């Protein structure tokens, strides 16, 4: 990929690290919001190279924050004989109270991995006697493609297609973190991919009201170090602004065509986040005009409620209160092969990142 090596240049990274060290006069706590950012930070050990900055991991892994109730609803729908249940592969091993979708598939359920929501629309067209359901999860980044799938299905009159929608929104999650008791976060590295779609306007009132810098960052080591340097400069000077440190991808106005499609198909709603709880106006659901494509309504699974296990601390990890190594089960009872929570299942989850790059070995010594 062009320009990939340039954003992993060791000499440039050392210069940015030295600039951060020179700028910071005290230890600052900065949260990276996106799971992809967490993965890069742990992979390259950036958090261990920054003695003047503590990086804490936010709720930016879409698989991790999909509520237990939604996993159980997916399980209940997928178990029906008439259903072809379609999902991205990273959702299949997320544990619900009834097991995961992969286990259900092994028992004979027609659960299929797709690589695009439009693949599910094609399946519905090819299987008119089956009900095809697509598990539409994710932050604002995946919302345009999922909205397009529903829009196309309606336009083509595919009444056997529906979507189980569990979209979550980033700005309300940042607000919830800032309002939570014991919050230590003083600045944020904002999600570059989300802002590519949505722009930055929604972050401006958060930065002003809570006096917190929000620096929109990319995902490569130099992107992240540059974003941290921007955040530290703001903190040291007493500023609290939204800055774009990922200008090669992000514009303040976002992608207007994508936003228009999202607004046509979805409306904002309250949403429950796994390990966090209900956050007002933090999700998308289908608008009334698209109600016939709502899988929750079609299969009558709205009333499924489930209690989280008290053994997993993924909720505290997602809120930046604790880190994976603070969990007594991490790397022992809880591994990628035997996950207790979603943060160990998803490749973007903080626990999975820590495990993948050997930080569980320190726990065992």
Pick the more confident residue, 357 or 230.
230
Distance CA 113, CA 85 (A): 9
CA R_g for the chain: 21
Dist. CA 168–CA 188, nearest whole Å: 18
Whether residue 62 has pLDDT greater than 90: no
Confidence of residue 108 (pLDDT cuts 50, 70, 90): very high
pLDDT at 363: 45
Does residue 29 belong to any structural domain of this protein? no
Closest CA to 191 of 47, 28, 349, 61: 61
Is 113 domain-assigned? yes
Q: What is the pLDDT of residue 283?
A: 97
Share of the chain above pLDDT 90, in %: 72
pLDDT computed for residue 337 by the predictor: 81
What integer pLDDT is reported at residue 364 of this predicted model?
44
The mean per-residue pLDDT over the stretch 36-65 comes to: 91
Of residues 200 and 329, more confidence is placed in: 200
Given a cut of 90, is residue 59 above it in pLDDT? Answer: no
Stretch 342-355: mean pLDDT, rounded? 82
pLDDT for 75-100, tens place per residue? 999 999 999 999 999 899 888 888 89
pLDDT tens digits along 279-308? 999 999 999 999 999 999 999 998 877 766
Supply the pLDDT for residue 307: 63
Percent of the chain with pLDDT over 70: 96
Residue 362 above 70 pLDDT? no
Supply the pLDDT for residue 365: 40
Given this model, what pLDDT does residue 315 score?
Answer: 77
CATH number for the domain spanning 291: value is 3.40.50.11740
Q: How confident is the model at residue 170 (pLDDT cuts 50, 70, 90)?
A: very high
pLDDT of residue 310: 66
pLDDT class of 274 with cuts at 50, 70, 90: confident
Q: Which residue has the higher pLDDT, 64 or 73?
A: 73
Alpha helices in 128-286 (DSSP H): 143-155, 170-179, 192-198, 204-210, 221-237, 256-265
Least confident of 79-83, 163-167, 236-240, 331-335: 331-335
The answer as to whether 64 is a domain residue is no
Domain, as residue range, for 284: 79-169+269-296
Is residue 360 included in any domain, yes or no? no
Q: Is the pLDDT of residue 360 over 50?
A: yes
Q: Could you give phi then psi for residue 213, rounded to 5 degrees?
A: -70, 140
Other Cβ atoms closer than 10 A to 9: 14
289 within a domain of the structure (yes/no): yes
Burial of 120: CB neighbours in 10 Å, binned 0-12, 13-18, 19+: buried
Instruction: Identify whether 259 is part of a domain.
Output: no
Q: According to the model, what pLDDT value does residue 317 have?
A: 84
Domain total of the chain: 1
Contacts (Cβ under 8 Å, ≥6 apart) of 289: none
DSSP secondary-structure letter at 110?
A: -
pLDDT attached to residue 306: 72
pLDDT tens track for 1-35 = 466 778 889 999 999 999 999 999 999 999 999 98
50 located within any domain: no
Q: Is residue 341 part of a domain?
A: no
Residue 274: both structure tokens together: 């796994």
**For the chain, what is the mean pLDDT?**
92
> Would you say residue 271 has pLDDT above 90?
yes
Question: Given this model, what pLDDT does residue 259 score?
Answer: 97
**Mean per-residue pLDDT, 96-111:** 93
């Amino acid at each position: 990929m062009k320009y990939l090596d340039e954003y992993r240049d060791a000499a440039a990274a050392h210069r940015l690290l030295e600039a951060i060290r020179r700028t910071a006069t005290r230890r600052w706590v900065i949260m990276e919001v996106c799971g992809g950012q967490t993965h890069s930070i742990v992979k390259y050990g950036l958090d261990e190279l920054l003695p003047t900055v503590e990086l804490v991991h936010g709720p930016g892994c879409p698989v991790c924050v999909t509520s237990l109730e939604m996993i159980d609803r997916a399980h209940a729908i997928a178990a029906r004989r008439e259903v072809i249940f379609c999902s991205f592969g990273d959702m299949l091993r997320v544990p619900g109270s009834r097991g995961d979708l992969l286990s259900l598939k092994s028992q004979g359920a027609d659960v299929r991995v797709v690589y695009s929501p439009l693949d599910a629309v094609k399946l519905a067209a090819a299987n008119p006697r089956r009900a095809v359901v697509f598990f539409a999860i994710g932050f604002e980044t995946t919302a345009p493609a999922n909205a397009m799938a529903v829009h196309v299905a309606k336009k083509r009159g595919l009444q056997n297609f529906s979507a189980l929608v569990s979209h979550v929104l980033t700005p309300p999650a940042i607000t919830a973190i800032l309002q939570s008791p014991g919050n230590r976060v003083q600045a944020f590295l904002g999600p570059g991919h989300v802002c590519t779609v949505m722009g930055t306007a929604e972050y401006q009132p958060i930065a002003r009201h809570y006096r917190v810098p929000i620096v929109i960052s990319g995902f490569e080591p130099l992107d992240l170090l540059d974003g941290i340097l921007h955040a530290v400069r703001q903190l040291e000077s007493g500023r609290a602004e939204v800055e774009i440190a990922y200008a090669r991808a992000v514009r303040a106005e976002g992608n207007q065509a994508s936003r228009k499609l999202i607004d046509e198909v979805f409306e904002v709603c309250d949403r429950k986040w796994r390990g966090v709880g209900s956050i007002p106006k933090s999700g998308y659901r289908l608008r009334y005009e698209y109600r016939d494509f709502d899988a929750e309504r079609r299969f009558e699974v709205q009333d499924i409620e489930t209690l989280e296990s008290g053994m997993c601390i993924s909720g505290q990890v997602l809120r930046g209160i604790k880190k994976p190594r603070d969990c007594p089960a991490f790397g022992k009872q809880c591994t990628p092969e035997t996950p207790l929570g979603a943060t160990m299942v998803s490749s973007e989850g903080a626990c999975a990142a820590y495990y993948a790059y050997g930080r569980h070995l320190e726990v065992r010594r």
